[in-house]
Amino acid sequence: MASPITGLGVTIQRQSTTEQVAEAVRQAILSGRLLPGTPLREAALAAELGVSRNTIREAARILGSEALVRHEMNRGIVVADITGRDVGDIYAARAALEMAGVEALIAHRDTAVYGKLAGLVDQIEHAFGRGDIAAVLDGDRLFHATLVAATGSPRLQRFHAQLQQEQRLALSLAERSSRELGRTADDHRQLLDALCGNRAQAMAQLTAHLRAGAGELQRLLDLLAQQKRNEARHGR
């Protein structure tokens, strides 16, 4: 029997209060109640939530690892901004990983993977039809994760999962884009049809799909920036 490890000099404790604070702030950010660039004042948050300022700092570290907040000189903790450069970088990274998924899917023609993708497309379309954008985004996340999983590479799947985590703030903005931008249709069915075809068709449709997603996010960022300028102009 192996001897127990001794002498580490640490005590493991559950950080339930910190986790609850992080979750409360996380949901406020992802729901749009706390917009990008909003300062998160430690003293005010601590007073509102009934916790110490140190707990706020610990929660901020958790949210910082999720790219939802950042620290700025002379401003402290602020809700992270998503810039046009961020959007371009996110979608370029996604394209690299998801193209590998297309290659694997076309090469192996795994019927189980196609069946899962088809079920997700049905889920997305039904959610879109009833106006449940949160469910649309959840289906979209699972669709693209399934595509990358077709590679069979744990590392690529892990990289993609990390990227999706970084993209959460951008997706919270996208949740409002169908209303803000007048989005009237979803194109995952076209992508699935192309994935059932040849490699060239699949690659071209995935490229178009990701380009459309990046363009929609960029238009939303532009719209939000214009709204901020209008509010500043009117002293709001």
Instruction: Write out the DSSP string of 24-45.
Output: HHHHHHHTTSS-TT-B--HHHH
**Which CATH number covers residue 33?**
1.10.10.10
Which tokens is 196 given? 């059932």
- 18: pLDDT confidence band, cut at 50, 70 and 90? very high
Whether 222 maps to a domain, the answer reads yes
| 129 and 159 belong to one structural domain | yes
Cβ(194)–Cβ(201) under 8 Å? yes
Whether 149 maps to a domain, the answer reads yes
| 65 and 93 belong to one structural domain | no
Whether 7 maps to a domain, the answer reads no
Whether 9 maps to a domain, the answer reads no
| 97 and 199 belong to one structural domain | yes
| 40 and 55 belong to one structural domain | yes
Identify the CA nearest to 102 among candidates 185, 187, 209, 174: 209
Tell me what percent of the residues of the chain surpass a pLDDT of 90.
Answer: 53
| 163 and 225 belong to one structural domain | yes
Identify the CA nearest to 140 among candidates 159, 126, 120, 122: 120
Whether 63 maps to a domain, the answer reads yes
Whether 4 maps to a domain, the answer reads no
Q: Give me the mean pLDDT over the 7-27 stretch.
A: 74
Domain range for 122: 84-232
Say what the pLDDT of residue 6 is.
53
Tens-place pLDDT, residues 26-78: 888 877 788 888 899 999 999 999 999 999 999 999 999 888 899 888 888 99
Domain-ending residue, one of 30, 53, 79: 79
Mean pLDDT, all residues of the chain: 86
Q: Is it the case that residue 179 has pLDDT exceeding 80? A: no
Domain-ending residue, one of 79, 96, 120: 79
| 171 and 126 belong to one structural domain | yes
Say what the pLDDT of residue 224 is.
72
How buried is 9 (Cβ within 10 angstroms: 0-12 exposed, 13-18 middle, 19+ buried)? exposed
| 92 and 207 belong to one structural domain | yes
Tell me what percent of the residues of the chain surpass a pLDDT of 70.
Answer: 87
| 227 and 161 belong to one structural domain | yes
Q: Give me the mean pLDDT over the 140-148 stretch.
A: 96
